[in-house]
Structure 1
């Protein structure tokens, strides 16, 4: 984060550009006496807006972009008349050709107040005010900390769930300083593999090639401390999905139990039938009830007439 920096040297600007292009996140809050030329030299190559002119006058942030990822899960219910930062003076920001710019907050007339820009693999967030109460009450406003926290969360780079065993992949982990006496090792259940390591700006790269022979979850350790946890899985494209038919299985193991062939019936019913045979008790009960009903109907509706015989006294 750059804050209250009057001028940005050429060397620092170059380092920051490299950092952003490799996936870093840069926040820029210009100072009260900012050297606008040096700010432009930093931000313009990153396709981000840069401060152009200082305007003095009371105004207020007129709105925030609730669709921006920065505000995700910050508000349960957004009020109709929210309390937004008050501004005493601010820098006008240049119009950027970056079509991936994202307004966080804006001034009346949709002028940018705090905006994010995608650059390379990273992000740049530029503010129109300094973190100084002579500019605005943003530093002590209730929105400031949640926004900064969300930007920090969004700056994280999610590691893949797993890497493919045997694939020539580069594994990127947070920067770790090593030396010949403190090597990085991948450890799993007593096994230890030393990967090839290359240091780059803002990250450490591991090259495994075919050094791993088993899938599983490995701890990346530097001495006794765990730096990262990395999972390796089999290559799914190499799985053999061919299978034998039911007749081929029966011919292969003629003395085996019955082969259950896939069909419309559920596996449970197929296994039950295989174990207990075809059960007819339900059918017998149904037939018995039908015959009982028929018998009752015959007795009720087809009675035979009986003749009464008088007995002699």
Structure 2
């Protein structure tokens, strides 16, 4: 217990006065003549003993009342339950850091209205409880550099008033670190930290490896909890086919996540491309399961496309749209590498692609360069000799970045060991002369999907007079096999690219493959699926670097420009649209754009120079808080207790009770009223005793 005015306690010394008076009080007796007092002796002794006891009780109650009054005027109080500044040094007032969670989850409604507005009101009340000479830091999810400084009380109130919803959602560990970094600069002040947040499970998990907050700082969590309401959000999208080709039909697959506990049917959804609605649909929700659906449309003309999938879901709307960009092409570059440029096999390959009305640009080369590989979508190795580790690594990188290769071996020639090892494929196996033919084709495989309108039961399939009896890797899939059970065509899928391996040569003496009717659809399908054209999309804050394939002559002229093709109001910026000059890095065949730190809003952006648009990307709000399940007060409090963070407290209160709680946390619990009440009780007891005895 502490006292505001401890000097008043000297008044307790006056308690000896009533004791002295009581002991020295001689009562004057009036003499009364009485005939015989012998029979009154016993009564007189009993009355004196009882009277003495009664006087002591009265004395005790009066002393207690007097002591309580003295204690009350000394203003006793209990110290704060967790005083981080145990030394009591307060040479420079207070240093207070306030974090207002302004992520999109704070747009929800709570008992006191919108969570963000309630948090701002309480933060302002906290600031007003301190002296104008105290220093304040106001921190939000934006982590702006201007917030890494102390403000005066007036400036802090003005900063709180200017807080709006942010695109970011921060982990609580990041917030604690940033607040602690600023408060450590106030060495000679009493340091306090207040965090106004909705305790989202996605951002407020206290991981085991999380460092404990500074014990010299008092930390207070003031939660703003929302009422429970289900939410639906677009999780991801993908196309059925890896490459988008002009005028071809397209199927866009959409995965929607939700946290609804009840089934919902007929929720509307639509797809717009370059601002035009091209597909609409509905979907149903099943509790506990994600929903996969599809929207079908036509790619139309070649060029850069800006897509947006939209759903209708109230009241939480920040995650109802998913912006994305992609490219539709009408020209696919194919490189045929062969040492025999005039061979029948090379000529046959080129003739096949010439039947596609200019869609494929096939070129035959007898040597390779990194630039040639980087510009290609499909590389066909026909009677190609081993080129060493440099070529093997280039091909491996090409495939991992989304390209495809086709390998046609040469009869009795050793396979390129380094190439196959870089692709993780076995290369050993002898050539066998036999009389074999293709017996089965995996028509259910995605590679053959929609290749044939109807596949006859009896069909003359390619034969194999000389076959490469190579061992198949566990990661390979056999697309066609012979009657003797040997692989004829196999495929290995990588992250984005793929490798097709024929086990016969293109030489007519080895097989009739290049003269068979199956040769044309096989090559055209390989070309259609040759390159995994990326879908350029990401979440603001999570997407740090955007990488895409391009050969830009001058990267210094590149700029990121906000597109205006999509007219949805929810994607418009809060600020004026403008251009950005991001940091751009160039590697062979690729451009890397650094997006971290750019003040961008959700929407579509085009990377362009003075004469050409190179790529487009769709940026979206972070889905981290889409599942807005929050910790209850008891759960979060138990987590703090399990961590053993004695200087971290959870304060649950309304705005009206906040000033009193702040005062108690700073000054302790005042007890003077309790002592006044105690004094009144003591005087009441004295009065009751006196009246009872008198009666």
- The whole-number CA distance in structure 1 between the counterparts of 2:597 and 2:395 is 35
Is 1:56 matched up with 2:433? yes
Structure 2 counterpart of 1:126: 501
Q: Distance in 1 between matches of 2:464 and 2:627?
A: 66
Structure 2 CA distance for partners of 1:94 and 1:118, relative to 1, 3 Å: same
Of residues 365, 381, 392, the one that matches 1:2 is 381
Q: What residue is the counterpart of 1:88 in the other structure?
A: 465
Aligned counterparts of 1:137 and 1:51: Cα–Cα separation in 2: 24
Q: CA deviation at 1:106?
A: 0.9
**TM-score between the two structures when normalised by the length of structure 1:** 0.66
Change (3 A) 1:101 1:95: closer
Counterpart selection for 1:223 from 610, 613, 620: 610
Residue aligning to 1:204: 591
Number of equivalences: 238
CA distance in 2, matches of 1:113, 1:206: 42
Q: Which residue of 2 aligns with 1:108?
A: 483
Distance in 2 (alpha carbons) for counterparts of 1:17 and 1:76: 35
Superposition deviation, residue 77 in structure 1: 1.9
Which consecutive unaligned segments of at least 5 residues does structure 2 have?
A: 1-379, 565-576, 630-695
Higher mean Cα deviation, 224-233 or 115-124? 115-124
Give the whole-Å Cα distance in 2 for the aligned partners of 1:86 and 1:161: 43
- For residues 60 and 184 of structure 1, do their structure 2 counterparts lie closer, same or farther at Cα, with a shift above 3 Å needed? farther
Q: Secondary structure at the match of 1:109?
A: coil
Relative to structure 1, the CA distance from residue 29 to residue 186 in structure 2 (aligned partners, 3 Å threshold; closer, same or farther) is: farther
Bigger relative contact order (CA 8 A; separation at least 6): 2
User: Which string of whole-angstrom CA distances, capped at 9 and with x for unpartnered residues, describes residues 256-279 of structure 1?
Assistant: xxxxxxxxxxxxxxxxxxxxxxxx
Match of 1:70, SS?
helix
Residues 12 and 45 of structure 1: CA distance in aligned 2, closer, same or farther (over 3 Å):
closer
Take 1:167 and 1:35, find their aligned partners in 2: how far apart are those partners? 47
* Correspondence for 2:398: 19
Structure 2-normalised TM-score?
Answer: 0.32
Paired residue for 1:291? none
Give CA deviations for 1:44-63 in whole Å, capped at 9, x if unaligned: 34222425222223321111
Which structure has the larger Rg?
2
Partner Cα distance (2:627, 2:418) in 1: 56
For the aligned residue pairs, the C-alpha RMSD in angstroms reads 2.8
Answer yes or no: is the 8 Å Cα contact 1:22–1:201 preserved in 2.
no
Q: Distance in 1 between matches of 2:387 and 2:601?
A: 50
Could you say which residue in structure 2 is the equivalent of 1:246?
A: none
Deviation readout 1:170-223 (Å, 9 max, x if unpaired):
222122334255435434357322222223455322211131423222222233
- Given candidates 485, 492, 495, the residue that maps to 1:117 is 492
Q: 3-state SS of the aligned residue for 2:430? A: strand
CA–CA distance in structure 2, aligned partners of residues 109 and 87 of structure 1: 11
Show the 5 A alignment for 1:171-186.
171-179=546-554, 182-186=557-561
